[in-house]
Amino acid sequence: MSDLILIHTRYQFLEQLRVPIALVASAFFPAAAMLAFVVPFAGADPASATSATAGMMLFGAMSAALIGLSISVAQDREQPWDPYLRTLPAGPLPRFAGRILTTMAGMLLSVVPVLLISAFLTAAAISPLRLALGIGALLVGSVPFMLMGLFIGYAASPKAAIAVSQVAYFPIAALGGLLVPLEVMPGFLQSLASFVPSRGAIELMWAAVAGRTPSPVSLAAFAVWTILAAAAATWAYRRDEGRRFS
């Protein structure tokens, strides 16, 4: 079974690499935001440059998880290749796992330009251990966004998936304080911030890269979002299966 997971991952990743527009998009936005927001405003102070870099890494990962995954799932569902794969002697697991692993690989790639900009153009500083922890936290922190991406992809048509995922992406990212620090946002937005999943995710990353203590409310909200998104993704997947393969 693990052989098949590897094979599915390999070919999905190959497909992704050969049509790299999604990868380019998820790498471009955080890199551009890095140059626009972080380098000029937070670049000089090592602590704030480091935490802002973490925010941009998560911003890129969210794009790959939420937008990339939802669009690729919705598009694949429209292709007759999808039902054909179901006639092969494999359950749904290899394809599903392949999708998640491919998305994670895409996330890690999208992080590279952000890290390069951070290293060369800001005062950000991090130890290799903290960097590894931070990447681990990034993968954990993006789980609810992958689940949301799966939910949208299984519930919506490709066109709707593009729209819905983009509309969800920016407000969630901004409200979590990934683009600009919460302190510069209006008060009522600050009070909402603890309840969006991006807040818990970024606080996890800050705990990993800077040893800051995350707020319990944000972490609890992150856990609740993860459970809700998992339930929604499972529901949408079953509904899609039931509609097409019952």
Partner 1 sequence: MTVLARAIEATRRYGDVLALDRVSLDIRAGELVGLLGPNGAGKSTLISLLVGLRRPTSGTVELFGGSPSDPAVRRGIGVTPQETGLPESLRVGEIVDFVSAHFPERYGKAELLARFGLGDLVRRQVGGLSGGQRRRLAVALAFAGRPRLVFLDEPTTGLDVEARRTLWEGIRSFHADGGTVVLTSHYLEEIEALAQRVVVIGRGRVLADDTVRAVRDVVGVRRVSFAAPVAPELPGILRSSVENGRVHLLTADSDRLVTELVHAGTAFADLEVRPASLEEAFITITSKEETRV
- Output 84 or 188, the one with its CB closest to partner 1: 84
User: What is the size of the binding site for partner 1 (CB under 8 A)?
Assistant: 22
Give the residue carrying structure tokens 């292709």.
Answer: 79
Binding of partner 1 by 246 (CB under 8 A):
yes
Chain residues 8-27 in contact with partner 1, contact rule CB under 8 A:
11, 14-15, 18-19
Binding string to partner 1 for residues 60 to 89, with x set by CB under 8 A, is what? -------------------xxxxxx-xxxx
Alpha carbons within 13 A on the beta-carbon side of 40? 6
Rounded to the nearest 10°, the torsion over CA 198, 199, 203, 209 is 40
In the chain, the amino acid numbered 72 is: S
- Output 9 or 26, the one with its CB closest to partner 1: 9
Instruction: Please answer whether residues 160 and 80 qualify as being in contact, where contact means their C-beta atoms are separated by less than 8 angstroms.
Output: no
- Output 45 or 82, the one with its CB closest to partner 1: 82
Instruction: Please answer whether residues 26 and 107 qualify as being in contact, where contact means their C-beta atoms are separated by less than 8 angstroms.
Output: yes
Which residue from 7, 36, 139, 231 is in contact with partner 1, where contact means CB under 8 A? 7
Measured between alpha carbons, how far is 204 from 209 in angstroms, rounded to an integer?
9
Rounded to the nearest 10°, the torsion over CA 152, 158, 160, 165 is 50
Binding string to partner 1 for residues 188 to 217, with x set by CB under 8 A, is what? ------------------------------
Minimum CB separation of residue 20 from partner 1 in Å reads 10
Residues that bind partner 1 (CB under 8 A): 3-4, 7, 11, 14-15, 18-19, 79-84, 86-91, 245-246
